[in-house]
């Protein structure tokens, strides 16, 4: 197990270190494409929307499966350059300003320059501003302090920074001796790392799989329309591999694989959910069935887009999602095992 876990964790570390807010995902998609190129069995296509589809042929090519994980993350865009040289932001994806307050960030300009800074309240200094704790964390008060000597809008523009430039948040990745992984963007790069490792295992061990299986690395999930197009028409079963949501009243943990029965979009396919539970039971995989109150996935987006598929949702449990995220290698391992059992099992009737 240790070798496999380290493989997955190394992929995860590399994935979180590549900035990829929704809308600026070319580099991370190319990274995965290059990684998978060395496996001859893997056929690859990229979509116009910029996603990567990696396919491994199975014994049955008429009925196919899709497993998807998204590589896009939360982020922001330069909204306004203020007269004092500070930068206001427009959010990409769903988060609260307080979850990025104090975070290091990078601005990516059109000419491929990167400038670092810190996301702060305008009224950050307690020695100057009374009651900063009570001020609203919103797009008016939250801004970037650039690590450049700039005091005016003009000086910022001279650097080549403009409205519309992407802003990525520092992942602050840490892997502890106790097996926890603390990092931003575990949603959903933890799942993408699992899929990369699966492809590698299938390919290197020349594993036969019963059905042609597509590994869909999507890149617009956080903004609602990830893997909801370019789904091969032979697809019967479609599993989104995405984080389990942990919190009060939730069953998901950082140690189990979460199998989602229902989220805000409605119930997932009952037969597929039941099959995943049975596979977890028969393979002694630690799992939890859960319901996510405020959640949609690429699988529900595909259903909404009109695809006639059986859809499911499983993934590692991620604590404090869209905030300071954390998971444990147990959860990665259990998710990996369940998905490996699944792609080798017959389809449900």
Q: Which residues are catalytic?
A: 221
Residue 143 or residue 242: which is nearer to Zn ion going by CB?
Answer: 242
Residue 188 or residue 254: which is nearer to Zn ion going by CB?
Answer: 188
Instruction: Report how far residue 349's alpha carbon sits from residue 261's, in angstroms, rounded to the nearest whole number.
Output: 19
According to CB under 5 A, which one of 72, 165, 170, 188 is a site residue for Zn ion?
Answer: 188
Bridge partners (DSSP) of residue 263 are: 266
Whether residue 171 contacts residue 324, with contact meaning beta carbons closer than 8 Å, is answered with no
Q: Give yes or no for residue 143 binding Zn ion (CB under 5 A).
A: no
Instruction: Report how far residue 74's alpha carbon sits from residue 168's, in angstroms, rounded to the nearest whole number.
Output: 8
Whether residue 170 contacts residue 104, with contact meaning beta carbons closer than 8 Å, is answered with yes
Q: Give yes or no for residue 187 binding Zn ion (CB under 5 A).
A: yes
Stretch that binds Zn ion, among 59-67, 111-119, 182-190, 225-233 (CB under 5 A): 182-190
Indicate the residue whose CB is closest to Zn ion: 188
Token digits of residue 345 = 């099992």
Residue 72 or residue 256: which is nearer to Zn ion going by CB?
Answer: 72
Whole-Å CA distances, 11 to 43, 55, 190: 20, 19, 9
Q: Count CB neighbours of 235 within 10 A.
A: 21
Stretch that binds Zn ion, among 3-11, 31-39, 80-88, 185-193 (CB under 5 A): 185-193
Stretch that binds Zn ion, among 93-101, 147-155, 184-192, 231-239 (CB under 5 A): 184-192
Minimal distance, residue 295 CB to Zn ion, in Å: 9
Minimal distance, residue 189 CB to Zn ion, in Å: 9
Q: Give yes or no for residue 242 binding Zn ion (CB under 5 A).
A: yes
Token digits of residue 26 = 């070319």
Residue 117 or residue 296: which is nearer to Zn ion going by CB?
Answer: 296
Stretch that binds Zn ion, among 37-45, 54-62, 181-189, 248-256 (CB under 5 A): 181-189
Minimal distance, residue 69 CB to Zn ion, in Å: 8
Instruction: Report how far residue 20's alpha carbon sits from residue 108's, in angstroms, rounded to the nearest whole number.
Output: 11
- Phi then psi dihedrals of residue 250, to 5 deg: -90, 150
Minimal distance, residue 304 CB to Zn ion, in Å: 16
E strand segments, 174-282: 174-175, 180-182, 211-218, 235-241, 244-245, 257-263, 266-267
Q: Give yes or no for residue 290 binding Zn ion (CB under 5 A).
A: no
Residue 32 or residue 146: which is nearer to Zn ion going by CB?
Answer: 32
Stretch that binds Zn ion, among 92-100, 160-168, 187-195, 279-287 (CB under 5 A): 187-195
Residue 116 or residue 264: which is nearer to Zn ion going by CB?
Answer: 264
- The residue with tokens 């994980």 is 69
Of 255, 231, 227, 241, the residue nearest 195 (C-alpha): 241
Minimal distance, residue 178 CB to Zn ion, in Å: 25
Residue 56 or residue 302: which is nearer to Zn ion going by CB?
Answer: 302
Minimal distance, residue 188 CB to Zn ion, in Å: 4
* Range list of H helices, 173-244: 186-204
| Count, residues near Zn ion per rule CB under 5 A | 3
Q: Give yes or no for residue 330 binding Zn ion (CB under 5 A).
A: no
Minimal distance, residue 242 CB to Zn ion, in Å: 4
Angle 107-108-111 from CA coordinates, rounded to 5°:
135
Token digits of residue 329 = 């290698």
Instruction: Report how far residue 303's alpha carbon sits from residue 268's, in angstroms, rounded to the nearest whole number.
Output: 10
| Sites of contact with Zn ion (CB under 5 A) | 187-188, 242
């Amino acid at each position: 197990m240790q070798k496999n876990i380290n493989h997955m964790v190394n992929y995860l570390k590399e994935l979180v270190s590549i900035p990829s807010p929704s809308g600026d995902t070319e580099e991370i998609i190319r990274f995965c494409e290059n990684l998978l190129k060395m496996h001859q069995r893997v056929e690859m296509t990229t979509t116009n929307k910029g996603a990567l589809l990696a396919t491994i042929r199975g014994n049955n090519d008429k009925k196919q499966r899709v497993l998807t994980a998204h590589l896009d993350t939360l982020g922001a865009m330069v909204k306004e350059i203020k007269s004092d040289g500070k930068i206001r932001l427009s959010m990409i994806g769903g988060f609260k300003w307080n979850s990025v307050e104090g975070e290091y960030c990078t601005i990516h300009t059109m000419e491929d320059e990167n400038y670092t800074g810190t996301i702060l309240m305008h009224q950050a200094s307690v020695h100057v501003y009374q009651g900063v704790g009570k001020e609203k964390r919103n797009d008016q008060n939250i801004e970037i302090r650039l690590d450049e000597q700039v005091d005016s809008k003009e000086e910022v523009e001279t650097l080549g920074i403009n409205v519309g430039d992407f802003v990525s948040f520092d992942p602050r990745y840490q892997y502890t001796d106790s097996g926890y992984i603390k990092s931003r963007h575990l949603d959903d790069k933890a799942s993408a790392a699992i899929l990369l490792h699966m492809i590698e295992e299938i390919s290197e061990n020349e594993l036969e799989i019963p059905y042609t299986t597509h590994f869909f690395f999507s890149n617009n999930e956080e903004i609602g329309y990830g893997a909801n197009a370019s789904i091969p028409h032979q697809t019967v079963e479609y599993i989104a591999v995405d984080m389990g949501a942990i919190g009060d009243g939730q069953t998901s943990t950082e140690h189990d694989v979460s199998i989602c029965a229902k989220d805000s979009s409605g119930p997932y396919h009952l037969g597929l959910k039941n099959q995943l539970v049975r596979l977890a039971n028969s393979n002694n995989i630690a799992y939890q069935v859960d319901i996510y109150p405020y959640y949609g996935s690429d699988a529900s987006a595909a259903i909404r887009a009109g695809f006639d598929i059986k859809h499911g949702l499983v993934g590692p449990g991620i604590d404090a999602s869209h905030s300071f995220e954390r998971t444990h290698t147990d959860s990665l391992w259990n998710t990996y095992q369940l998905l490996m059992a699944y792609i080798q099992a017959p389809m449900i009737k």
